Chains A and B, each alone.
Chain A
Amino acid sequence: MEDKPDILIYDLGGCEGCPLSILRVYPDLRGIANIHTHHLGEIDLDRRYDIAVVTGPICINDPDSIDVLRRIRRNTDTLIAYGSCASVGGITLFCRGGQEPRPEHRTFQPLSSIVDVDYAIPGCPPAPNLFLALVNSLRSGRGYFLELFAAVARARRLSGFDLLDTIVLTGLCISCGACIISCPTNALQMIDRKPDLIVEKCIRCGTCCIRCPRFTQILVQRYRAGKEVV
């Protein structure tokens, strides 16, 4: 893209940590893209955008939210699920409903359960500079890790539990330590050279999974083979 792409930033009902993280890097972003976010002004959902970045989970019991998500999907060629809730569910996978004034809002899922997502990036929230790197990668069209993010868009969940089930308990773990240093709540600790999950601290953000060299290899290979990713 030679011109500056038009990028929509929209939150569906998450904690707003992800769009705020993007706002923080706005001074650098505005040189390379036209950013449309409701934190800086009005936004129009009925026009096309080069890239639409949606944060927050989709509540599958709220037809208005689903309608908005579908509108956004129709109006762009590149839809990015940004942050753990949008990409893999995050903390909202624990939602149960039953709370006033909307007890029927009981199931929250990553965006990929409703629409096709092009790239999904976990993080609770991702660091501001990640968004800059992402926009630059998309503009240049290259980048090995973009394929990883495309693979994550096919995953319906990624968490410390999935790391255990897929990599540690199967004996695939090589004890490199990537997961230990990437957990935002310090839920992973090395015991006898293998990661142990402090279950009460895992908020299902998925960061450990996308840092693990073996997990990312499996995600991408399954994605390329058209199989179920997780």
Chain B
Amino acid sequence: MDDFSRQAVYQLSRIGGEAEYLVYTDGERIVDAYFISRAPVRGFERIVRGKNPLFVVEAVMRICGLCHTAHGIAAVEALEDALGVSPPANGRLLREILGLLNRVQSHLIHLILVTPDLVKREVLDKLLIDEIRLLNRVNDILSRIGGSPTHPPYIVVGGFSKCPTQKIISDQLRNLRGVLDKYRDIMATILDENNQSGKVDVLKNRSIDVKPLASHPFYGDKYNIDLGKVNVVHYHSYRGNNLPERVSKTTSMVALYGGKAVEVGPRARLMIYREYRDNSLWGLQYARMLEIELSLLRIMELLEQVDPSEPSKSGSIVFKRGRGVGVYEAPRGTLLHYVELDSDGRVASYRIIVPTMFNIPYMEISSKNLPVHVADTIPRLYDPCIPCATHVVKVG
């Protein structure tokens, strides 16, 4: 690949975290690309070793300021699996609600990041401000139900530590309806072809051979995927040797399913559970936008089922030896947490596999033969989350 003397390194802006996109071109079209994450490895799997499950939940949420709730949910699911505990109905409902609120929050943040690629300059400024204001409204709702707009403390082993009152539920239902209306306006603006940028045409015309992986449309289900097929490898194992030197600096690994690359995330979920068919690059963004709407509707549906007179947390939890897995559909795709507890109920080992790891191959393959001017848009479309991606341990 060093035959192609033209290369460009993009310090990717408008993504969650620090990463580079190393691109080789023939002058006009992209010939090859490498996704190099650059954030240091904080190593949360090691941080939680020896710790009490209470700490685990608070800690893993702080892996990421975008998908904090998703990590919290995957962690409590894994811990409950290990301890043989199940939340009561209210707890399960509230978790799904909060997780979906985080999904909406995260997709909206991504929308703010990617909108400059999608629309013309004339409509960009107002659209960005509207999107940020809408994000703030979603954050308020998440804060009222979860206890904080980021790293919500009400997610606990055994369920949900604080059930909202009937008044809070009614108020938030009303707020959600307002959010949905405003979101539909924003979506209409972006879907209006008169507003779309030239890049959107390029994205619409590029199809990808998508092999989707997803465990559930709205929550997560460890029985819907074959855990034995999940495999994590070093970047060079997946891409072979003779890599450009810069690539050796990458701080993330790659996840495969059955030894092959799979796409996870909104489009994968919609393809598997809703017969979504658009496999173009634009289709990926459109799927994410649709998911915001579907999630808002689902949240309202679930909120109406919450019964404040019933408990939301399991009564007795004993920390003891055990092993468990939590599979949860984070905003960016399938997220897995594996935990092993020692005889005191403290963490003996912990592993996390994040969706961005699955999507790295797609981020690289999808830009082949595309014009150079859309290069940095491609990884951005996959909504990579670098704080999450720098936490993977070799599995299997």
Q: Do chains A and B touch in the complex (CB under 8 A)?
A: yes
For B, the interface residue count at a CB cutoff of 8 angstroms equals 57
Q: In the complex, A26→B249 CA distance in Å?
A: 33
Complex contact B58–A95 (CB within 8 A):
no
8 A Cβ contacts from A106-153 to B: 106, 108, 124-125, 128
Query: How many Å from the CB of B55 to the closest CB on chain A?
Result: 4
B88 lies within 8 A of chain A by Cβ: no
A193 lies within 8 A of chain B by Cβ: no
Partner of A125, one of B15, B132, B150: B150
A16 and B65 in contact, given A39-B112, A184-B153 (Cβ under 8 angstroms): yes
Partner of A201, one of B54, B150, B390: B54
Partner of A94, one of B59, B234, B391: B59
Complex contact A43–B132 (CB within 8 A):
no
A13 and B40 in contact, given A20-B66, A38-B14, A201-B58 (Cβ under 8 angstroms): yes
Measured between beta carbons, the chain B residues less than 8 angstroms from A97 are 43, 46
Complex contact B113–A21 (CB within 8 A):
no
As a 0/1 sequence over residues 179 to 194 of chain A, the CB contacts with chain B under 8 angstroms (1 = contact) are 0000011100000000
Query: How many Å from the CB of B68 to the closest CB on chain A?
Result: 7
Complex contact A17–B13 (CB within 8 A):
no
- Tell me the nearest residue of chain B to A42, going by C-beta: B13
Complex contact A200–B132 (CB within 8 A):
no
Complex contact A21–B150 (CB within 8 A):
yes
A171 lies within 8 A of chain B by Cβ: no
Measured between beta carbons, the chain A residues less than 8 angstroms from B59 are 91, 94, 203
As a 0/1 sequence over residues 18 to 38 of chain A, the CB contacts with chain B under 8 angstroms (1 = contact) are 101101101100000000001
B77 lies within 8 A of chain A by Cβ: no
Measured between beta carbons, the chain A residues less than 8 angstroms from B42 are 13, 57, 59, 92, 95, 105, 108
Complex contact A100–B393 (CB within 8 A):
yes
Query: How many Å from the CB of A203 to the closest CB on chain B?
Result: 5
Q: In the complex, A101→B391 CA distance in Å?
A: 9
Complex contact A99–B136 (CB within 8 A):
no
Measured between beta carbons, the chain B residues less than 8 angstroms from A17 are 62, 64-65, 68, 150-151
Query: How many Å from the CB of B332 to the closest CB on chain A?
Result: 14
Instruction: Please tell me which stretch of B195-203, B250-258, B268-276, B286-294 contacts chain A, meaning at least 4 of its Cβ atoms lie within 8 angstroms of it.
Output: B250-258
Measured between beta carbons, the chain B residues less than 8 angstroms from A23 are 109, 112, 132
**Which of B62, B113, B129, B136: most chain A CB closer than 10 A?**
B62
Q: In the complex, A100→B42 CA distance in Å?
A: 10
Complex contact B16–A96 (CB within 8 A):
no
8 A Cβ contacts from B96-133 to A: 109, 112-113, 116, 128-129, 132-133
A1 lies within 8 A of chain B by Cβ: no
Q: In the complex, A134→B346 CA distance in Å?
A: 41
Measured between beta carbons, the chain B residues less than 8 angstroms from A95 are 42-43, 46-47
A225 lies within 8 A of chain B by Cβ: no
Q: In the complex, A38→B13 CA distance in Å?
A: 5
Query: How many Å from the CB of A211 to the closest CB on chain B?
Result: 16
Measured between beta carbons, the chain A residues less than 8 angstroms from B17 are 11, 13, 16
Q: In the complex, A14→B391 CA distance in Å?
A: 12
Chain B binding surface, main DSSP class: loop
Complex contact B251–A102 (CB within 8 A):
yes
B180 lies within 8 A of chain A by Cβ: no
Measured between beta carbons, the chain B residues less than 8 angstroms from A98 are 43, 46
**Which of B17, B58, B249, B252: most chain A CB closer than 10 A?**
B58
Partner of A101, one of B49, B51, B132, B235: B235
- Tell me the nearest residue of chain B to A104, going by C-beta: B41
A62 lies within 8 A of chain B by Cβ: yes
Measured between beta carbons, the chain B residues less than 8 angstroms from A40 are 14, 116, 128
As a 0/1 sequence over residues 35 to 79 of chain A, the CB contacts with chain B under 8 angstroms (1 = contact) are 000111111000000000000010101101100000000000000
Query: How many Å from the CB of A103 to the closest CB on chain B?
Result: 8
Query: How many Å from the CB of A45 to the closest CB on chain B?
Result: 9
A41 and B135 in contact, given A101-B234, A108-B42, A203-B58 (Cβ under 8 angstroms): no
Query: How many Å from the CB of A71 to the closest CB on chain B?
Result: 13
Complex contact B148–A184 (CB within 8 A):
yes
Complex contact B251–A15 (CB within 8 A):
no
Measured between beta carbons, the chain A residues less than 8 angstroms from B132 are 23-24, 26-27
Residues of B within 8 A of A (CB): 11, 13-18, 38-43, 45-47, 49, 51-52, 54-55, 58-59, 62-66, 68, 109, 112-113, 116, 128-129, 132-133, 135-136, 139, 148, 150-151, 153, 234-235, 249-253, 387, 390-394
Closest 7 CB pairs of A and B: A17-B65, A99-B43, A59-B40, A13-B39, A200-B54, A200-B52, A102-B41
Q: What are 18 A-B pairs with beta-carbon distances under 8 A?
A: A12-B39, A13-B17, A16-B17, A17-B64, A21-B150, A23-B132, A24-B139, A41-B14, A42-B11, A43-B13, A64-B38, A64-B249, A92-B42, A100-B234, A100-B253, A125-B150, A184-B153, A198-B54
Interface contacts beyond A13-B39, A16-B65, A103-B41: sample of 20 additional A-B pairs, CB < 8 Å, sorted by A: A13-B17, A17-B65, A17-B68, A18-B65, A21-B65, A23-B112, A24-B135, A39-B14, A62-B40, A64-B38, A91-B62, A94-B59, A95-B43, A95-B46, A96-B46, A96-B47, A99-B45, A101-B250, A102-B251, A105-B43
